[in-house]
A and B are shown apart, each in its own frame.
Chain A
Amino acid sequence: MVAKKITSKIIIYILLIAGVVLSIAPFYWMIVGSTLPSGEIFRVPPKLLPGDYLAKNFQTLNESLGIAKIFWNSLFIALVYTLVSTLISAMAGYAFAKFKFKGKNVFFFIILCTLMIPSQVTLIPLFEMMVTFNWLNTYQAIILPTLASPFAIYLMRQNMKAIPDSIMEASRIDGAGELKIFFTVILPVTRPAMAAVGIFLFMSQWNSLLWPLITLNSKEMFTLPVALSSLIGMARIDYGQLMLGTTLSTIPIMIFFLLLQKHFISGILGGSVKE
């Protein structure tokens, strides 16, 4: 009986570790690949150790894309988007959770509807709008359309509902203005929820492909996903620089993830998992 238990435990361990290897191996190969020349990546039998081609790959990647600018585009867009969108959804969530006002139910119903509708529906009219505004190849074209995220608003509302009204009442009696109450009383209390929402928004923007692919067609405005997909479209794909590009788009997120993993997991899961 005891022996049986130990063997079953060992089997579970082996299977789980095999799973871990399958989950992690592509990352390893991605990083190793970024240090190899194109030909070496496809060598049979493969060389599974890092090479010395990293600098050369970086140089060619930089020549074909201007990687620093592209990295900056991605970072700038994702950061501005995250900060503003988190604030907007916290404000809207607060209004929905803590106030009664005319039109509240109608607007909340609209938000619930937009949660259900696939975003693909908006692509064509949004593109036409960007053409009309002359916004193709601009940051605002990427940031504005999804800046008010129904999902984030919904999550913030759920979190704000848990705050007792008495906190706000007490501040009002102390003479605090409504803005002061929001910024100095409400926001600090909801910090964990805002962190989760922020991470969720950052990741979805950093990884977004379809909309940026449609609105950005000049190289110096590309975000990382668009730049990577453009490398694949080239007549002769240089796999070394492609691997380096994917590594550069993944490593920063990976570092953040390892540092903040608890927040990260609940953020990416959209706050659906409470720990």
Chain B
Amino acid sequence: MEQTEKVVNANTSFRVKTRRGLLTPKNVPYFFIGPAFLLIMIFTVYPVISSFILSFQEVRGVEKSFVGLANYTRLFQDPIFYKSLLNTFQILIVQVPIMLLLSLLIAVGLHSSMLKGKAFFRISYFMPAITALVAASIVFMILLDENFGLVNYFLSLFGVNSIPWLTTPFWAKVSVILVMTWRWAGYNMVIFLAGLQNIPSDLYEAASIDGASKVKQFFMITIPQLKPVFIFTVVMSTIGTLQLFDEPFILTGGGPNNATMTITVYLYQAGFKFFDFGYASAIAYVLVIITAIISWIQMKLVGDE
């Protein structure tokens, strides 16, 4: 008896709601999705399309005219653009492996040795990852000053001649790589550490019983088990590096002699220093295509991860 009453009550309350035109299980998903949908359409989808059209246009003040592929042909004859591509890839190819190796080594060191104060180490290594890239770049700009920077001072104690960190093309790239590595190594280390902790310990026990050495265990168990973590960190670092902006912008402004000009710094200059919107959009679309190709290759290498 009581139950039927409850059901009736529930039914009437449903009916009341529909009559008032309030939210029902049927229409409510549109209410929940609405804000996100509108925002993404207006501020992401529309700009992505608009920028594609812009890349075939020339913009003079408020006037726009179609120029076909002119922006793209100009792009592929532009030595500075090639330079920015080359720089981005040089930094990518050197920085990502070095950083990830370092992250892995720290993670393995922390994980293996049953250290005291693991939490302390983890917090300390993660600290750089909470700083703004701008702040990190500024502090390093000061640390790496050729004549009076702390880094050169400490190196001089070991008899190293002062290094022109920010003023010569080679060392400027090294400096950008240094800042990136300082900023991101701990971040990736924490990811590796979590990966290491997820490896079932009976794998190691079995290997020990079989008489496998620690080194052999590392290469036969740890590395293969970490594969998904590797893929994740490589993909994230690659995409991040392709979009590199803050560090070179603050540290060297893209110089000296365009040695640290990256794709995004060049896009920024074309768009917001010279207000060449069509050209900047073409640069952006080349970045999209490169990102797509690299993501595709990485997906292929991984299978269906």
Contacts and interface: CB of A to CB of B under 8 A. Distances in A.
Interface of A: 9, 12-13, 15-16, 19-20, 22-24, 26-27, 29-30, 33, 41-46, 88-89, 91-92, 94-96, 99-101, 104, 107, 110-111, 114, 116-129, 144-148, 150, 153, 172-175, 177-179, 182, 203, 206-207, 209-210, 213-214, 224-225, 228-229, 232, 239, 242-243, 245-246, 249-250, 253-254, 257-258, 261, 264-265, 268-269, 272-275
Given A23-B128, A268-B130, A92 B232 contact: no
A43 B148 contact: yes
A172 B249 contact: no
A144 B194 contact: no
B130 to A, nearest CB: 5
Interface in B254-274: 264, 267-268, 271-272
Contacts of B142: 29, 33, 41, 239, 242-243
Interface of B: 9-10, 13, 17, 22-25, 28-33, 35-37, 39-40, 43-48, 50-51, 54, 106, 109-110, 112-113, 115, 121-136, 138-143, 145, 147-150, 153, 182, 186-187, 190-191, 194, 232, 239, 242-243, 245-246, 249-250, 264, 267-268, 271-272, 277, 280-281, 284-285, 287-288, 291-292, 295
Given A95-B33, A144-B39, A269 B187 contact: yes
Contact of B130 (A144, A179, A213, A254): A254
Nearest to B279: A124
A91 B284 contact: no
B130 A257 contact: yes
**Interface class of chain B by DSSP:** helix
**Interface class of chain A by DSSP:** helix
A126 B47 contact: yes
Contact of B135 (A122, A246, A265): A246
Contacts of A150: 40, 44
A99 B281 CA distance: 38
10 contacts: A24-B127, A95-B30, A96-B33, A125-B47, A150-B44, A172-B25, A228-B132, A228-B134, A243-B142, A269-B187
- Interface centre among B127, B249, B250, by most A CB within 10 Å? B127
B119 to A, nearest CB: 8
B251 to A, nearest CB: 9
Given A27-B127, A45-B153, A246-B139, A118 B288 contact: yes
B194 to A, nearest CB: 4
Contacts of B24: 178
Contact of A16 (B109, B139, B190, B281): B109
A214 B275 CA distance: 11
B246 A23 contact: no
B126 to A, nearest CB: 6
Contacts of B280: 123-124
A262 to B, nearest CB: 10
Contacts of A22: 182
A126 B23 CA distance: 34
A232 B39 contact: no
Given A29-B143, A116-B295, A269-B191, 14 more contacts: A23-B186, A89-B36, A117-B48, A122-B44, A153-B36, A175-B9, A178-B24, A178-B28, A209-B132, A210-B268, A257-B126, A257-B130, A269-B190, A272-B191
